[in-house]
Amino acid sequence: MVGPSQNSPSPVTRDFLAGRFRDQLAGEDLLELESLLSEPRLLADRQVLIARGEKAHQATLLVEGYLLRSISRDNKRFIVGIHVPGDFVDLHGLMLKRLDHDILAVGPARIAQVPHEELDRVIRIRPSIARALWFATLLDAAIHRQWIRNLEALDAPQRIAHLFAELHHRLRQIGHNVNRALRTPFTQSDLADMCGVSAIHANRAVARLRELGLAEIRRGDLYTSDWKALEAYAGFDPAYLYGEEMSR
């Protein structure tokens, strides 16, 4: 996947709230934010960034790749959120101090970090940055609500379709050009854990999407010639992602 230009004045934070709140931030706010973040480093596939209950001392921006929020219980794992570049993945820890969930990489990922004390200083002197960060954490809450609604209202094939429709939309918000193929490092078991179904059901759901001619999913990659049809099937309405659709 080819990302946006590398020549941005803020190469590490260029995706932060892109397509959403970003245009409400002044240039100097963006530069200030950029200056706070460390040099990006790599996380390996399945590497845990922060575990539930661990004390959080810094906040992490995902620069490249995907991270998951997951909750484990009785040796079962539940995936409660997916992150794309530009997301401050553990910013909730700035206020909650210990997260109620784990955050881990799926596929290799690049992250940059900022110590909480630095962020604390900045949000005291720059209310606009405070609001942007607050907004970012509430976006997570909005996405959680949509997932709750999906689990309450959709069957397994629709849930998988919704998942990819959401991802497609979020990647486009940060300027990634996704055409017919959306490539992810997700395994079939990841998909099952995101949808709250067994691996067998996830398999059947994938087969169903193929039968309906909506999408072909192979090793985490989704191929479709008709995103609109996939969105309609999933009942996907992007307003909850707070892009331009919300202000229409």
Partner 1 sequence: MIDPNVEAVRYPITGRFLLGRLRQLMSEEEKSVLEGLVERTEWIDKPFRLIARGEKTDHSTMLVEGFMLRTLDDKGRRHAVSFHVPGDFVDLHAYALKRLDHNIDTVGRVKVGYVPHAAVDEVVAQRPHLARLFWFSTLLDAALHREWITSLEHLTVPRRLAHIFAEIWCRLDMVGLGERDSFETPFTQMDLAEMCGATAIHTNRAIRDLRERGLAAFERGRVTISDRNALESHAEFDPAYLYGAASLKLDDFPELR
76 in contact with partner 1 (CB under 8 A): yes
Angle 92-93-98 from CA coordinates, rounded to 5° = 125
Distance CA 11, CA 15 (A): 9
Tokens of 129: 């940055």
Q: Is 106 exposed, middle or buried (0-12, 13-18, 19+ CB in 10 A)?
A: buried
Tokens of 42: 């790599």
Distance CA 168, CA 194 (A): 16
Beta strands in 160-210 (DSSP E): 181-182
Cβ at position 145, least distance to partner 1 in Å: 5
Count residues near partner 1 (CB under 8 A). 52
**Contacts (CB under 8 A) with partner 1, residues 116-175:** 116-117, 120, 123-124, 127, 130-131, 134-135, 137-142, 144-149, 151-153
23 in contact with partner 1 (CB under 8 A): no
Q: Among 16, 66, 227, 242, which residue interacts with partner 1 (rule: CB under 8 A)?
A: 242
Cβ at position 52, least distance to partner 1 in Å: 8
35 three-class SS? helix
180 in contact with partner 1 (CB under 8 A): no
- Residues interacting with partner 1, by CB under 8 A? 53, 55, 69, 71, 73-74, 76, 78, 80-81, 92, 95-101, 116-117, 120, 123-124, 127, 130-131, 134-135, 137-142, 144-149, 151-153, 193, 195-196, 235, 239-240, 242, 246-247
